[in-house]
Amino acid sequence: MLATKAIADDLAGAAPIKGRSLWADARARFFRNKAAVAGLFVLVCVAAFALFGPLIATWNYEDIDWTVLGNVAEAGRPSLENGHWFGTDALGRDLFARTAQGTQVSLMVGIVGALISVIVGTFYGAVAGYFGGRIDGVMMRVVDVLMSIPYMFVLILLLVVFGRSMLMLFIGIGLVSWLDMARIARGQTLTLRNKEFVEAAVATGVGPFTIIRRHIVPNLLGVVIVYATLLVPSMIIYESFISFLGLGVQEPLTSWGALINDGAAEMNNGTLWMLLVPLFFFVITLFGFFFVGDGLRDALDPKDR
Amino acid sequence: MLTFILKRLLIAIPVLLILIVGTFVLMYTAPGSPFATERGIPPAVLANLEAQYGLDQPFIVQIWRYIVGIVTEFDFGPSFIYRDQDVNDLIGQGFPVTLTYGVWSFLVAVLVGGTLGILAAVRHNTWLDYLAVGISIGAQVLPNFVLAPILVLVFTLWLGWLPGGGWQGGQWEYVILPVIALSTSFMASIARISRASMLEVLTSNFIRTARAKGLPMRRVIFRHALKPALLPVISYLGPAFVGMITGSVVIDIYFSTGGIGQFFVASALNRDYGVMMGITVLLGALTVLFNLVVDILYAWIDPKIRY
């Protein structure tokens, strides 16, 4: 009797058991993955560079350093003395400031593109998958049609017809980025639709759009987040591609693609840093996103392991 | 099978129509006339020019003529900038080039990527596997417009082995770098996809059965595992094709190979709408046709698909 009492007292004194949510489990799994954590660290560093780089740079990204102009291969080398830490570009503009500015543009395009795809694609796919039948057929056929169009050409067309601007770039990228997401969300919704909790919601008289919003979409989030992380790099690649062709952001603004293109054009003149600096940031960021994406997939999608 | 092909063809036609109409509407609503110059052009001359190209007609008539021209005569209309050439001439010049390195890149990507992926899966967790995975991860971050300058830097400027541009009627030295630049990232994707699916197939029951009845490993892989393992690769061929067409623009610009992409970007910078529209429609049609072929191939190989 006494013993049971003691145990009961012990139990009362012990901290209440805290349940572990699925998200907490996923977080723990993610942080156990060394490659993913390293990727995350790299991404944080790149983001910090984009945010604070322009503040600590000694030069503005659009100002020409007249003292190096004409002798960029010698005077424009990366050096600590004249403040051009990454050297200058062919026009004598500070590459550190330009890379920081280009990083801002590229990251922004990547993230906005992924956001559009998450919002539009998830909702579109969830609606198609939830209603099924003819609605599903028509909606997914539209996706099929849009997917079989070489959208890069359409995007270039858009940029030429309506003028080059940041907004147009976002619209163009947003137009195509949601297609894959819609397919993935639909596939997941098809299996979720038959789960008991959806049936229960239907039985208690919840409307279809409330079910999609309250019950379907939250359950899609894991897959959606994983895919969105993997989508950011491909958006960055698209933007760089467009900038590489000279159709992206307008000078003096720049982005990774434009910087890589400029650097590649000067390759013959012994100014390799112009190519290597933006290339370095481009490559480590893409690696970062891929590793984080893989880590998230392992963490959030346990059946995939 | 025949009804399946017919059904697919019936879907392809509206896709093409949507593409043509969409492109046309975009061009029609574009601000500014293709003939506008900095100094301005007398209204009478402008009217004459527009009449010559049929731009004074109502929208419906223009688009109808355009579609009829493409469907009946394969005529993509005139170029608004190069007065003596029409879009067909430009396509005729550029297309053989694009086709040459495009086909080579496609073959390299599929054959090398597929072989690498399957070898990696068969030799799971050996150095070969790690090498293949390493290559495919590395190639993910090297899209063609990044790889092209690196290749030129190494093979042209440092080693001096291969020319860094030009075409010269397609001599092999001029084809190698474009093909490597274009095919690498797709090769990596194909290697990754085929490795993953081969690994999955190799652990399935029918493979265990095949091995249990004493078949040699070689025979198990070629006769039993290969076909199902290649299905995901086939469904990736469509997107890969689109990606390669897009990538050809970079190749043309970077290596000055003189393919269609060069005309496309030149026309984009010149606002030569006729050429842009023609190339977009042509490549769109190619994509749709290729996807059709892939669909049919897939249905033919995969017995689970009912048609």
Q: Above 60 in pLDDT, residue A304?
A: no
pLDDT tens, position by position, B115-157: 989 888 888 888 888 888 888 888 877 888 888 888 888 887 7
User: Distance, in angstroms, between B92 CA and closest chain A CA?
Assistant: 19
Query: Which H helix or E strand runs over A147?
Result: helix A133-147
Residue A240: CA atoms inside 13 Å, Cβ hemisphere, count? 33
Distance CA B195, CA A2 (A): 64
Show the tokens assigned to B195: 């490795």
Q: Which domains does chain A have, with CATH numbers?
A: 25-63+92-304 (1.10.3720.10)
Percent above pLDDT 90 for chain B? 0
Nearest CA in chain B to A283: B141
B288:A150 CB<8 A: no
pTM, to two decimals: 0.78
Residues of B in contact with A154 (CB under 8 A): 22-23, 280
For testing contact with chain A, the best of B17, B25, B145 (most A CBs within 10 A): B145
> Residue A12 has what pLDDT?
67
Residue A35: CA atoms inside 13 Å, Cβ hemisphere, count? 13
Instruction: Please check whether residue A268 is in contact with residue A250, taking contact to mean a CB–CB distance below 8 angstroms.
Output: no
Nearest CA in chain A to B137: A287
Q: Above 70 in pLDDT, residue A243?
A: yes
Per-residue pLDDT band for A154 (boundaries 50, 70, 90) equals confident
> Residue A68 has what pLDDT?
66
List residues bridging with A64 in a β-sheet.
A93
Per-residue pLDDT band for A204 (boundaries 50, 70, 90) equals very high
Distance CA B143, CA B146 (A): 5
Residues of B in contact with A145 (CB under 8 A): 14-15, 18
pLDDT tens, position by position, A259-275: 888 887 777 777 778 88
B284:A275 CB<8 A: no
Residues of A in contact with B276 (CB under 8 A): 153, 156-157, 160
pLDDT tens, position by position, A80-120: 667 677 777 777 777 788 888 888 888 888 888 888 888 88
Nearest CA in chain B to A260: B146
Nearest CA in chain A to B12: A145
Name the residue type at position B30: A
Burial B138-155 (b: 16+ CB within 10 A, else e): ebbbbbbbbbbbbbbbeb
- Diameter of chain B measured on Cα atoms: 86
Q: Which of A153, A158, A160 comes nearest B283 by C-beta?
A: A153
Q: Above 80 in pLDDT, residue A145?
A: no
Burial class (CB in 10 A: 0-12, 13-18, 19+), A11: exposed
Local structure of A88: helix, strand or coil = strand
Q: Which of B26, B283, B284 comes nearest A161 by C-beta?
A: B26
Q: Which of B153, B238, B276 comes nearest A267 by C-beta?
A: B153
Between the alpha carbon of residue B86 and those of residues A6, B45, B79, B93, B256, the distances in Å are 96, 21, 5, 11, 21
Instruction: Please check whether residue B174 is in contact with residue B166, taking contact to mean a CB–CB distance below 8 angstroms.
Output: yes
Please identify every stretch of chain B with a pLDDT value under 70, giving residue numbers as ranges.
30-40, 81-84, 170, 304-307
User: Distance, in angstroms, between B172 CA and closest chain A CA?
Assistant: 24
A247:B268 CB<8 A: yes
Instruction: Please check whether residue A173 is in contact with residue A238, taking contact to mean a CB–CB distance below 8 angstroms.
Output: yes
User: Distance, in angstroms, between A221 CA and closest chain B CA?
Assistant: 24
